[in-house]
Chains A and B, each alone.
Chain A
Amino acid sequence: MELIEVSGVSKSYGGVVANKQVSLKVPRGRITGLIGPNGSGKTTLFNSIVGYHPIDEGSIMFEGKEISHLRVQEIARLGLLRTFQQTRIYSKMDCIKNMLISVPHRTATFRDMFRPYSPELTDKAEHLLEFVGLYAKRRLISGDLSFGQQKLLEFAMALMSEPEVLLLDEPTAGINPTLINGLIDRLKRANEEFGITLFVIEHNMRVIMNLAENIYCIAHGEMLAEGTPKQIQNDQRVIDAYLGAH
Chain B
Amino acid sequence: MKEHSKHLVPGLVILVFGVAAPFLFPNYVFQFAILWLMITFALTWDTMGGQMGYNSLGNIVFFGVGMYVSALIQVGLYYDIGDYTAAYGAIKVDYTMEQYFTGLILGLIAAGLFAVVVAVAFGSIVFGLRGPYFAIGTLGVALAAGELIGAWDWVGAGSGISMPVYPGDPDDRALLYYFLLFVLGVATFLFLMCLYSTRFGLAINAIRDDEEKAEAMGIHTKRHKTVAWSISAFFLGISGGVFGNMAGFIEPLEVAFPTVTFGIFMVVMSLLGGKGTLWGPVLGATLFHIVKEVTWTQLLGWQWVVLGLLIIINVVFFQQGIIGWAQDKWPERFGIVVEEDAGGLTDQETAEVLTGKGAG
Contact = CB atoms under 8 A, between A and B. Distances in A.
A81 B353 CA distance: 20
In the A-B complex, the 5 residue pairs with the smallest Cβ-Cβ separation, listed nearest first, are A76-B218, A90-B209, A124-B360, A105-B218, A88-B213
Interface string B101-116: 0000000000000000
A137 B337 CA distance: 7
Nearest to A126: B343
B220 A108 contact: yes
A54 B98 CA distance: 61
Given A113-B200, A115-B198, A140-B338, A131 B350 contact: yes
Nearest to A128: B354
Contacts of A84: 213, 216
Given A113-B203, A123-B360, A89 B210 contact: yes
B336 A141 contact: yes
Interface residues of A, number: 52
Contacts of A102: 217
Nearest to A162: B356
B309 interface: no
Nearest to B352: A127
B223 interface: yes
B321 to A, nearest CB: 14
A120 B360 contact: yes
B332 to A, nearest CB: 10
A113 B221 CA distance: 11
A114 B217 contact: no
Given A90-B209, A193-B355, A73 B336 contact: no
Contacts of B213: 84, 88-90
B352 to A, nearest CB: 9
B197 interface: yes
Interface stretch (A27-35, A91-99, A224-232): A91-99
A116 B209 contact: no
Given A92-B276, A140-B338, A193 B354 contact: yes
Nearest to A159: B354
B205 A92 contact: yes
A136 interface: yes
Contacts of A72: 215-216
A106 B218 contact: yes
Contacts of B197: 116
B353 A123 contact: yes
A157 interface: yes
Nearest to A92: B209
A230 to B, nearest CB: 31
A240 interface: no
A69 interface: no
Contact of A110 (B221, B223, B360): B223
B131 interface: no
Contact of B217 (A97, A128, A157): A157
Given A72-B216, A73-B219, A76-B217, A135 B360 contact: no
Interface residues of B, number: 44
Contact of B202 (A91, A100, A159): A100
13 contacts: A73-B219, A81-B217, A101-B205, A101-B206, A103-B199, A112-B199, A113-B223, A113-B227, A117-B199, A139-B339, A157-B217, A159-B354, A194-B354
B292 interface: no
B12 interface: no
A112 B351 CA distance: 27
A120 to B, nearest CB: 5
B354 A73 contact: no
A93 B216 contact: no
A71 to B, nearest CB: 8
B276 A124 contact: no
B203 A101 contact: yes
Contact of A88 (B212, B335, B359): B212
B190 interface: no
Contacts of A77: 218
A106 B203 CA distance: 15
A151 interface: no
Contact of B353 (A76, A92, A104, A124): A124
Contacts of B353: 123-124, 127-128
A50 to B, nearest CB: 7
B128 to A, nearest CB: 14
A139 B342 contact: no
B342 A136 contact: yes
B111 to A, nearest CB: 23
B164 to A, nearest CB: 37
A76 B215 contact: yes
B299 interface: no
Given A113-B220, A135-B343, 11 more contacts: A90-B210, A92-B209, A104-B218, A106-B218, A123-B353, A127-B354, A136-B339, A136-B342, A139-B338, A140-B337, A161-B218
A11 interface: no
A130 interface: yes
B305 interface: no
Contacts of A103: 199
Most buried by A among B206, B217, B335, B359: B217
A93 B350 contact: no
Contact of B216 (A81, A141, A194): A81
